[in-house]
């Protein structure tokens, strides 16, 4: 009796586990879905948040707003138009994450 219960539990893990994982993978939006664009010039509020964190890598910057986290912005920043980095900025909470690589599927705007 106990062996049957254990074998059923093991089977449930092997059958239902991958289904749960694939559902999680499908529910996570791609970067281009999470930051759909269009690109915009960053606001003074975003610039102030960068200055608060002493971020100097964003002499030139463009941004996209998150579709899943209101108030979060993806920035692509450069100092020399050759080397670009990405940053996540939440002005309302004064949070800044970066620098990181550019996100796959989100190219630079056409002007660059």
Instruction: List the domain boundaries for the chain.
Output: 1-28, 35-100
Which DSSP letter does residue 43 get? P
CA 10 to chain CA centroid, nearest Å: 36
pLDDT digits (tens, 9 = 90+) for 4-60: 545 554 444 454 555 455 555 568 899 999 999 999 999 999 999 999 999 999 999
Give the residue from 101, 109, 80, 96 showing the smallest Cα distance to 46. Answer: 96
Which pTM does this prediction carry?
0.75
Angstrom distance (rounded) from CA 43 to CA 41: 6
Of 25 and 110, more confident: 110
| Residue 60, SS3 per DSSP | strand
Q: Mean of the pLDDT values across residues 99-110? A: 95
């Amino acid at each position: 009796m106990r062996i049957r219960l254990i074998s059923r539990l093991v089977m449930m893990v092997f059958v239902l586990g991958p289904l749960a994982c694939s559902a999680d993978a499908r529910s996570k939006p791609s970067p281009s879905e999470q930051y759909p664009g269009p690109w915009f010039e960053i606001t003074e509020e975003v610039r102030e948040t960068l200055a608060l964190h002493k971020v100097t890598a964003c002499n030139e910057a463009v941004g996209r707003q998150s579709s899943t986290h209101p108030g979060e912005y993806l920035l692509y920043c450069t100092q020399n138009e050759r080397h670009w980095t990405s940053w996540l900025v939440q002005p309302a909470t004064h949070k800044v994450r970066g620098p990181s690589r550019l996100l796959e599927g989100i190219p630079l705007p056409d002007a660059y």
